[in-house]
Structures are given as C-alpha cells and as structure tokens.
Amino acid sequence: MRQGNKTFIFLLAGIFILAWISFKFFYHPQEKNILEFQKGMGYVAWAKDRYSAEESDASLEALAATGTKYVSIVVIWYQTTCWSGDIQRLDITASDESLRHAIKKAHQLGMKVMLKPHLDILDESEGGWRGEIGCVKEEDWSKWFEKYTDYILYYAKIAQEEKVELYCVGTELSTAAIVKPESWREIIKKVRGIYKGFVLYAAHWDSYMDVRFWDAVDFVGINAYFPLTESLFPTEDELRAGWSKWVTELEEFQAQIKKPIIFPECGCNSADGAATRPWEHLARREVNLELQQRFYKVLMEIFFEKQWFYGLYWWYWGTNPKMGGEFNRSFTPQNKPAANMLTEWYSKNIPRPAVFIAE
C-alpha cells in the first residue's frame, strides 16, 4: 500500500473516532427539551373522560395564554389505606384515551409536558396520607414495590409514546422513599429502559433531605409547601422573611447534591392564613385573593434569580375554564389576580444552562 493511501486511511479513521467521541459525549437528543426554564402549572382531573372534554381543551388554551410553557398532567391511582398494599385504577382515574388527548392538546398549544402519576389514599377515616404509605414486613414491601413498579412502568410507556418531556416516578411517598432507596433506584433504572426523556421524583417539602437516590434522577423535585408565617394577613416583606431560612436550607442542600432543583408543586389557597400551612385546604376561611397573588409574586421573585433553580409548577389549574373567580378560596389561580401575576412573571426571560440526562 502506498504511503499516501496509508496516511489517508489513518486520517479518515481519526476523523471517525473524533466524530464518535463527540457524539458520545456532546450529543444529547433530549437537550432541546429543557433549554427553557420550566414555567409550569399542574393540571388535574378526577374523572375518567374529563381530559378529553371540550371544556378541558378550552381550559388548556386559557392556561397557554398565561404564558405557561410546561404543564404537569396528573393521573391518579388509589390505595385503600396507608397499610392495605393494594394499588388500583378506579372509575374516576383518567382513561388512557383522555390522558393521551390532554398530552396531545398541550403539545399542540406549544406547551411541554410532565406526566405525573399520583397515588392517593381512598379511606382517610383513620387519617394518613400518601407520605405515610408503608409496610411492616419485608415481604409486604416487596409486594408493594412490585405493584408500584407495574403502575409507574405502565405510564412510562405512555410518556415515551406521546413524547412527553419529563416523567415523575413518584410524588410525596416519603416513607417508601426513605426506607427503600434501592427499590427506587431499580424503578428508575427500569423506567429509563422504556422512557428516554427526563426523570424526576417529587419529594415532600419536609423530607427531601432524607431521600437517598437523587443521583439517579435528572431533577430534584421538591413540593414546596413550606410554612412561611403565622400571620393570617402577611405582607410581602413578611413572606420574604418567611422564605429566608428555607432558601438558605435549599441552597446548602443543592451545593451538596449538585443537581438542578424544581418545584413540581407549589402554591396556596386564596384565603386568609394560606401562607401558614400552604398545603392545607382552607374551606372555612375568608376569601383572600390578594394574599394568593402576593404569595405568587414573592416566590417567583426569590427563586427566579437562583441559578440552581430550574422551574416550578403551581398547584393547580382545573379542567373547567370557568373555575376559580372572586369568591373561590381553593388553590387554583384561574380567573383570579394570581393568574395576572403569573402572566407577568412568565413573560420574563429566565435563561439557564442545558441539563443532560443522567447516565
């Protein structure tokens, strides 16, 4: 073989190897999905076909008009009690057809989607909530995780088929997350075998530091219902002061974990005292639309400037476009001043470095 031909072949081989290395280490097919800061909103239905109703389409259109760019679409299965171990779809669970319809509609409107399976407790007569779901015996834990894994993989397949941008493998399952971290690692591994987008877990605000599998996900999810004040009518300054210790705690935690943080849920009722225990439903308090608006403003003002913070999803936007309004004290910002605050802040450019899928 001529020397010139050898040189050419070696040069060609070198170019090929360089190209392969570049592809391996610098090409991330999902990068385009996450260049934006996640200006999000939770979206939930408690009926089989509600997501495919014309009203739901209209409600998603109204949501997109606020400047919301990401929507977390919730699907709910149920467990009878915290200790029953059964995980089941009910007649009020969104059908696959209606769920797919909502995902497609959100994509058509230019919004990106997080699919967010929830596990709720049916019988609350004995107290308890999903964070207390647990088992006494090891064999019962094994059976529970087997059922839960089937549940999560079922929707991971739908998430992949519908090109969903983010998938949440669990929400506020505090006891299960703390007691069985390796079981969660196994779930996440199996999810990644099916679903090729970004994966997260949504921890409760009071237990996120006890989770031991954050390195396995792409985003640290914290449902940010932090108590801020004892005042029923807090000012903006009081709300900022209430956030101070939590922000410090989050910054120290993020410096250790070195993962971007998002709030898969945050928000409060539009009622007096809503910032005291933001997770509570305040059905008997007086309506206070201004407090909810103030809460929105202060939270976004504080966190939008934190470079480790990659977005939030307010809880929640309903499938009825006429929901909310001046006499409504629930979480939704629909037809309330908080929606205007949302639009104001979601119109801002919030640049962030790209996030890559964990390997």
- Cβ neighbours of 123 (radius 10 Å): 12
Number of domains comprising the chain: 1
303 in a domain, yes or no? Answer: yes
The CATH number given to whatever domain includes residue 78 is 3.20.20.80
Cβ-proximal residues to 309 (8 Å cutoff; 6+ apart), any chain: 260, 261, 262, 303
The answer to whether residue 13 is domain-embedded is no
- Does a structural domain hold residue 24? no
Task: Determine, yes or no, domain membership for 71.
Answer: yes
Buried b (16+ CB within 10 A) or exposed e, 184-193: beebbeebbe
Tell me if 174 is assigned to some domain: yes
Along the 359 residues of the chain, how does pLDDT read in single tens digits?
A: 555 544 444 444 444 444 443 333 333 444 444 557 999 999 999 999 999 999 999 999 999 999 999 999 999 999 999 999 999 999 999 999 999 999 999 999 999 999 999 999 998 777 689 999 898 788 999 999 999 999 999 999 999 999 999 999 999 999 999 999 999 999 999 999 999 999 999 999 999 999 999 999 999 999 999 999 999 999 999 999 999 999 999 999 999 999 999 999 999 999 999 999 999 988 789 999 999 999 999 999 999 999 999 999 999 999 999 999 999 999 999 999 999 999 999 999 999 988 888 76
The domain containing residue 213 runs over which residues?
A: 38-346
* Rounded-to-integer distance, Cα 354 and Cα 350, Å: 12
Q: Look up residue 244 and give its amino acid.
A: S
Is 277 in a helix, a strand, or coil? coil
| Close Cβ partners of 221 (under 8 Å, ≥ 6 residues apart) | 168, 200, 201, 202, 203, 261, 262, 263, 264
Query: Is 226 within 8 Å of 246 (Cβ atoms)?
Result: yes
User: Per the domain annotation, does 284 fall within a domain?
Assistant: yes
The residue to which tokens 């089989």 are assigned: 48
Q: What is the rounded distance in angstroms from the CA atom of residue 103 to the CA atom of residue 218?
A: 21
* Domain-located, residue 2: no
d(CA 82, CA 134): 6
| Residue 359 included in any domain | no
